[in-house]
Amino acid sequence: MRITLLLLSLMISQNAFSSTLKLNYSLFFGYMKTMYKLDYQDVTTAFYLVDPITGENCVIEQAEIVVDNKREVINFQTQGRLLPFYSDQHRKDGAMIEVQTVHQQACALQVTLMAKESHLDALTFEKLVSISEQLEGVLRKNAGMIGKYFLPTYQGLRFKLAESIDPSSQLDLGYQLASNGDLLITNEVLQTLDSSNTLSYEVLRITPWIVK
């Protein structure tokens, strides 16, 4: 599930070849708090900066968390992913996250719920059922007591594969193919498969398959 949010502010820095984005840390903290409370082992919430028109990841040069005049470096992946740490004290202190991107990129924050990248090898169907249950649990928790009744249908899992599948090829029984080439498997199909067998594709990312 991807939620694209407008940035709170965009300020061109003195460096003509980069831009500085300012984001309220409390936004990140809210999502991280959900994961902290649920203590799920297989899924995470990822924060990406993307071009709102093309959907391509922005390129990050530097990321810092700022409280008053104090600055602290936070982790990130160059190709758009922010990895802020979890701190209730920073939330209380009104911390901001400042990110420098290259080429004056106008970026939007994209919040993506997905399986942990370290858990994508030798995926058994037993593990995929667990991942699916955890993804749905986070979606419902983020929606709150009332909002969960208005969530779109959680259909199953969406897989971004290392190698695209030829649309004309024969898919395994019950598998489907999205228009962008992602592999789709419903929860119902997952439940019918031998739990000890493994998925016969190299997977780069697993996210919820949502049907509106």
Identify which of 69, 212, 88, 96 has the alpha carbon closest to the alpha carbon of residue 150: 212
Choose between 125 and 180: higher pLDDT: 125
pLDDT, averaged across the chain:
87
What's the pLDDT score for residue 183? 94
- What pTM value is reported for the model? 0.84
Q: Which residues 6+ apart lie within 8 Å of 59 measured at CB?
A: 78, 79, 80, 101, 102, 103, 105
**What tens digit of pLDDT does each residue of 2-19 get?**
444 433 333 333 333 456
Confidence bin at 105 (pLDDT 50/70/90): confident
